[in-house]
Chains A and B, each alone.
Chain A
């Protein structure tokens, strides 16, 4: 990647005025894109051109632009977060593309993630799942116990930490042929189920989170494993299995 070069690309981007409007794929030509730029910078460049031409810029989600907030989404050339593994869209670089490429850019497609505008989707369904049980109740009235005062086995701590790496981006849902959110929910359930502090509310947590997940209209996991491969944080299918175990335990109680 030593040679700095610019490429010309064709973009096919989903445009949709608002949540109610019927959208469509629109084609844009964009010249002189530096291969050193990130995918989002490329979209910034496109938007600048559009604004100069008095065309409404393309709306897309982003915040940290360093792979930790989970805001950026985008289904690029048929893959969540585009043609690279272990990254978010803000970490995708234009050097992954060639001169003359046609690049499809679409929003996450899921009943539970309705499109608000263009490439922006509403992911508050994830928040409602979290609110249904993705927390530990702590007494904060001045006598909070320091978390480190409770010993946690190293193995469990590591597994919980891996699960907690989930940034709630929704790539798992977007890539799953069933629009299933089980990798996300599995990670959130596991993160607490593995820790002593989380065991107290374990039964209600898994039942409530799964119920909320179903109510939001996410599909059912068929273990294709697509989510695990597209997840920017490498969340493992083990977490879904753990959620399935937790759910069975809780249902039988």
Chain B
């Protein structure tokens, strides 16, 4: 009885919502710290961070925990919402819920679903590019030789050829791609036909991000949608942060402090996230 109750019971589902939700709040704080380097750090610092995030084993573990939390939180949340709808089969002809509860608290599922749409789009735009795009721009540098200036990819330490020619867009030359094989990991590895590593270059996520938000056609709309998504996140957290503590049974003398901290967290974190694309689009 006791064991199955921890999975199936209404209260247990709430514990899982709260635990995964709070873990995702930690993830947000970490993610934000990294992203802020887009404003306060150099391009190479940011790319170093991106490399670290995609290669460090401890970070890998955390990232799997994050994927799992998002999925579990979303599925559990939707299941709870479906059950809750069933608990009132006939709606009131006249209802005045704004008298006793906040808009955010009544719309967690809608807000959550919008966040999920954002997360998927976000992963397609950045995460998938970083992981799977064979033609991703590489960290590069201008070199002048005999009065000729050329863009070259900077190889990571120990690679065979430290420099590699890039095309005008900063991407690996189409000719190079055709002639060699590319293996995709955290760095772009160019292998020749005999399996010999010719070049290992670091992917330029910094450039990807800047190009994405500065694109003359789609940059503005991307910036606006990003800011809107952060507003949705803010509302989700405005109710969610303090709610998680209540779900876990914490309602005591610390509750007023938890509520204040939750409000600050819900406003500051999405705001700082949102400032980054605005800065990239309008200021840089």
Using CB atoms and an 8 Å cutoff, list the residues of chain A in contact with chain B: 12, 14, 25, 75, 77-79, 104, 106, 109-112, 175, 177-180, 182, 207, 210-211, 213-214, 217-226, 229-230, 237-238, 240-245, 247-248, 250-253
- Distance of B259 from chain A, by nearest CB (Å): 11
What is the chain A residue whose CB lies nearest that of B79? A220
What are 19 A-B contacts defined by CB distance under 8 Å? A12-B93, A77-B94, A77-B96, A79-B96, A106-B93, A109-B88, A178-B88, A217-B87, A218-B87, A219-B83, A223-B239, A224-B100, A237-B251, A242-B249, A242-B251, A245-B249, A247-B11, A251-B9, A252-B6
- Distance of A101 from chain B, by nearest CB (Å): 12
Partner of A178, one of B87, B92, B239, B243: B87
Chain B residues touching A, majority SS: helix
Using CB atoms and an 8 Å cutoff, list the residues of chain B in contact with chain A: 1-3, 5-6, 9-15, 80, 83-84, 86-97, 99-102, 105-106, 108, 239, 243, 246-251
Whole-angstrom distance between the alpha carbons of A207 and B1 in the complex?
Answer: 8
- Distance of A213 from chain B, by nearest CB (Å): 7
- Residues of the B chain whose Cβ atoms lie less than 8 Å from the Cβ of A247: 5, 9, 11-12
A222 touches B87 (CB 8 A): no
- Distance of A140 from chain B, by nearest CB (Å): 28
- Distance of A214 from chain B, by nearest CB (Å): 5
- Distance of A252 from chain B, by nearest CB (Å): 7
What is the chain A residue whose CB lies nearest that of B93? A25
Partner of B100, one of A175, A182, A250: A175
- Residues of the A chain whose Cβ atoms lie less than 8 Å from the Cβ of B97: 78, 175, 177, 226
B101 touches A112 (CB 8 A): no
B99 touches A219 (CB 8 A): no
Whole-angstrom distance between the alpha carbons of A218 and B10 in the complex?
Answer: 9
- Distance of A246 from chain B, by nearest CB (Å): 8
Partner of A220, one of B2, B13, B89, B106: B13
Whether A109 touches B14, Cβ cut-off 8 Å, given contacts A177-B101, A219-B83, A229-B100, is: no
A211 touches B94 (CB 8 A): no
- Distance of A83 from chain B, by nearest CB (Å): 8
Partner of A213, one of B10, B86, B93: B10
B248 touches A222 (CB 8 A): no
- Other A-B pairs, 6, CB within 8 Å; known A218-B87, A221-B14: A78-B99, A106-B92, A177-B88, A179-B84, A219-B83, A225-B100
- Residues of the B chain whose Cβ atoms lie less than 8 Å from the Cβ of A241: 246, 249-251
- Residues of the B chain whose Cβ atoms lie less than 8 Å from the Cβ of A25: 93
A78 touches B102 (CB 8 A): no
A244 touches B248 (CB 8 A): yes
- Residues of the A chain whose Cβ atoms lie less than 8 Å from the Cβ of B88: 109-111, 177-179, 219
A220 touches B101 (CB 8 A): no
- Residues of the B chain whose Cβ atoms lie less than 8 Å from the Cβ of A219: 10, 83-84, 86-88
- Residues of the B chain whose Cβ atoms lie less than 8 Å from the Cβ of A77: 94, 96
Partner of B246, one of A213, A226, A240, A250: A240
Whether A252 touches B2, Cβ cut-off 8 Å, given contacts A111-B89, A177-B106, A210-B10, is: yes
Whole-angstrom distance between the alpha carbons of A222 and B239 in the complex?
Answer: 10
What is the chain B residue whose CB lies nearest that of A105? B94
- Distance of B69 from chain A, by nearest CB (Å): 18
- Distance of B36 from chain A, by nearest CB (Å): 31
Whole-angstrom distance between the alpha carbons of A164 and B91 in the complex?
Answer: 30
Partner of A210, one of B11, B84, B91, B250: B11
- Distance of B68 from chain A, by nearest CB (Å): 21
B102 touches A224 (CB 8 A): yes
B99 touches A79 (CB 8 A): yes
A-B pairs with lowest CB-CB distance, top 6: A78-B96, A219-B87, A179-B87, A241-B251, A245-B249, A178-B84
What is the chain A residue whose CB lies nearest that of B15? A248
B92 touches A211 (CB 8 A): no
B94 touches A104 (CB 8 A): yes
- Residues of the A chain whose Cβ atoms lie less than 8 Å from the Cβ of B108: 222
B91 touches A109 (CB 8 A): yes
A223 touches B100 (CB 8 A): no
A244 touches B247 (CB 8 A): yes
Partner of A248, one of B92, B93, B246, B249: B249
Partner of B92, one of A75, A230, A243, A244: A75
- Residues of the B chain whose Cβ atoms lie less than 8 Å from the Cβ of A223: 105, 239, 243, 246-247
- Residues of the B chain whose Cβ atoms lie less than 8 Å from the Cβ of A244: 11, 14-15, 246-249
- Distance of A236 from chain B, by nearest CB (Å): 8
